[in-house]
Structures are given as C-alpha cells and as structure tokens.
Amino acid sequence: MASEGQIVDPSGPIVSERENFDLSGPLHLTTVDWTNPNHRRSVAACLVQSVYILERDRQEKREGLQALAPPWWNTFHFQLYRQLVDDVDACVFGAIYQLTSTSSDQAPHFVIAFRGTITKGDAFTRDLELDIHVVKNGLHHTSRFETGIQAVRHVVATFGSSNVWLAGHSLGASMALLAGKNMAKNGVFLDAFLFNPPFFSAPIEGIKDKKVKHGIRIAGSVITAGLAFAMKNNNQANRSGSTFVALSEWFPRLFVNPADHICSEYVGYFEHRKRMDEIGAGGIERLATQHSIGGLLLNAMGKQSEEPLHLLPSADLTVNRTPARDFKDAHGIHQWWRPDLQLESKIYSFK
C-alpha cells in the first residue's frame, strides 16, 4: 500500500510525488523571465532538485521513459551536459546543465548544481561522511569536492565565466559555496544560488529574548576581535583575514529559512554586523567577522586551522518568512519555487 505523498507505478517501485515534476514542480512557471529574481531562484532550485532525482533514478534503475529527472531541466530548456559522479560509491552528486535556447542575456549559459544528503538508498553512508567533513571544515580535502571544483574550472576554462551559475542545497550548498570561494579568490566571481547552506555554530538565532541574543553576540564579537588583535603577528590568522577581504566583491545568493537550524544562523550573522555599526562598534565586528574563535585558539596553540565555510564578507541574503509546517518543510528544496512565499531580501556588503 502506498503512503501519503507516494504514487504507485504498476511497472516499477513506489515513487514519491516530490520526484514527479507534474505533481510537485513549479507548474505556474510556464514562461521564464530571466530578469525576474523569483524565476531565477525557482529554476536554480529545480535544477538542484533534478540532481537529487538523477541519483534516485540511478538507485531505482529508472531509465528512458521511466526516468523522472529529465522534466526538471527540459521544462526550462536545459540539457544535461554531464553528470558528476562520486569516485567512492559511484553516486550522482552533481550535474552540469547547458541552456539550449534563450533570448535574454540575463540567462545562465551553464548551471553547475549539487544535491544535498539523500537518506534513502546506498548514497546515505557517503553523504553522511561528507556532512561530517562540512562540520569539521574539511570538505576541501574530499575527492567529491575535487571532482566538483574540476567541473567548475572546466566550464569556466572552456566557455568563460560569464553567465555561469553555481547552485546547491544543504550539503550541496556547501559544495557550491566552497567552489565559489575558490574561484573568487582568483578573481572569478560566479553567480551562486545557495539553498539552506549549513552554518554550524551555537544556535543563538533560536533564542527568543532579543536582549539576551544580542548580548551573547556582542560578547562573542568582543572576544573574537580581542583574540584576533592579540594574534595580529600570527601569519595564519593574517592569511585568514586577507582571504576574507579578498572575497568581499563576491555576493553569493543565500536562501535561508529561520525555522531551519542548519542555516538560520546566517540571519543573525549578517544582521549582527549591521547592529554593531549602529551602536558604534563596527570596527570590532569587522575584525571579529573575519575569524572564528575556534580557529584563533588553534592558531594560538600552533595548530593550523581551516577556514570555516560560513565566514562570508558579502552576500545577497533572502529569508523565507513563510510559516513552516516542520523542520523537513523548512529545510526542503521544494519551498524555493513556491509562488506564494513571504520573502525578505537584503544585500550585505563588507566595508
């Protein structure tokens, strides 16, 4: 018997409605206006969803007319240029899409998309391993990321960086963010659509009392800035600060839901910087925001620390204020192509 949210294919296994474009896709998006940020966001999210379904198609051996992934890119006039396959477990974790026809110079020529963690099938073990690497700031040491960044470099070297998008959700957003940072350090600023990007830290944003929340953030900034100032002659700490400033001209698009604890800290991260300016403590925050306390402590002990992914100087942040039913709803990729979202968007620039 099929449960709610599933359909039965007489010729195959039970299929989730969320994988079927005709049931869960943005059917309202009959024509794409590439100058419309809502359309751009929706298409980017659908291309990320297509990577999830490419892997599910592989797991369920759905091929030809049974494959569910193609409508998620064909509908928007993309073709699959290449799948990105993990060399450890042969799972599909990303894909490169090429736009086949458009009359707008705002449209992407290529989109490189990365999926997040899949809890079904044989990809979960490897995905969980990558999630742990994200927490430990070690994603750049993995072979999956090496495959991903090579794909990005290939597209840029072969076709140029103009109108190349990066897109990812959750773990995939970390992949896209790290790839974008690597390219930006070399002066190549790619459009990036990062859905529910992980920000691992103490869950301060979940504190209801605003005075307590602001007090904790201010104390954290003062401590971090003090450590950074005390270590101003430490080469590793100085390199971290220099890298941060070098990234300030790159504005990745972050899409977060405050009910999703995995990414909600980005809201406070950028708003706190603005509040510190308002109370005359902008200098402290500009120094603090370039570093993490953990990284500074490791540097002080003579140990090399990796730069946390969430440290971003600039960003175009979009917050989904639409009430979420539960965590799954708040963290899911499907929310980002709904036509009725209550969104707040702000651009944060590092001065």
Q: What does 259-296 look like in DSSP terms, one character per residue?
A: T-TTTTHHHHHHHHHHHHHHTT-HHHHHHHTT--HHHH
Widest Cα–Cα separation across the chain:
68
Instruction: Give the pLDDT of residue 209.
Output: 66
Q: What is the pTM of this model?
A: 0.85
Instruction: Give the pLDDT of residue 85.
Output: 98
Instruction: Give the pLDDT of residue 101.
Output: 86
Percent of the chain with pLDDT over 70: 75
Dist CA 335 CA 330 (whole Å): 8
Confidence of residue 235 (pLDDT cuts 50, 70, 90): low
343-348, strands of its sheet edge to edge:
78-85, 92-99, 110-114, 164-169, 191-195, 253-256, 315-320, 343-348
Instruction: Give the pLDDT of residue 292.
Output: 60
Instruction: Give the pLDDT of residue 21.
Output: 97
Dist CA 106 CA 257 (whole Å): 26
Phi, psi of 125 (to 5 degrees): -60, -45
Res 6 pLDDT > 70: no
Mean pLDDT (whole number) for 166-177: 98
Tens-digit pLDDT profile for residues 293-323: 555 445 555 555 566 788 899 999 999 999 9
- Of 3 and 299, which is predicted with more confidence? 299
Res 237 pLDDT > 50: no
Res 288 pLDDT > 70: no
- Of 213 and 175, which is predicted with more confidence? 175
Res 226 pLDDT > 70: no
The answer to whether 167 and 192 are in contact (CB under 8 A) is yes
Instruction: Give the pLDDT of residue 230.
Output: 67
Tokens of 257: 């839901």
Strand partners, 85: 92
Percent of the chain with pLDDT over 90: 63
CATH number of this structure's domain 6-200+249-285+309-348: 3.40.50
Instruction: Give the pLDDT of residue 275.
Output: 73
Confidence of residue 331 (pLDDT cuts 50, 70, 90): very high
Q: How far is CA 257 from CA 75, 109, 262, 313, in A?
A: 27, 29, 9, 20
Window from 102-111, 198-207, 260-269 with minimum mean pLDDT: 198-207
Instruction: Give the pLDDT of residue 241.
Output: 52
Q: Please give the helix or strand (H or E) that residue 345 lies within, else none.
A: strand 343-348
Three-state DSSP class for 165? strand
Dist CA 69 CA 84 (whole Å): 15
Instruction: Give the pLDDT of residue 7.
Output: 45
Dist CA 290 CA 312 (whole Å): 8
Q: Around Cβ 182, how many Cβ atoms within 10 Å?
A: 16
List the Cα angle 312/42/172 in 5-degree steps.
45
Tokens of 146: 């090496």
Dump strand ranges (E) for 6-158: 6-8, 14-16, 78-85, 92-99, 110-114
Supply the mean pLDDT for the chain: 85
- Of 201 and 94, which is predicted with more confidence? 94
Instruction: Give the pLDDT of residue 2.
Output: 35
Res 220 pLDDT > 70: no
Instruction: Give the pLDDT of residue 190.
Output: 98
Instruction: Give the pLDDT of residue 273.
Output: 76
Res 242 pLDDT > 90: no
The answer to whether 143 and 86 are in contact (CB under 8 A) is yes
Window from 13-22, 47-56, 120-129, 271-280 with minimum mean pLDDT: 271-280
Confidence of residue 281 (pLDDT cuts 50, 70, 90): low
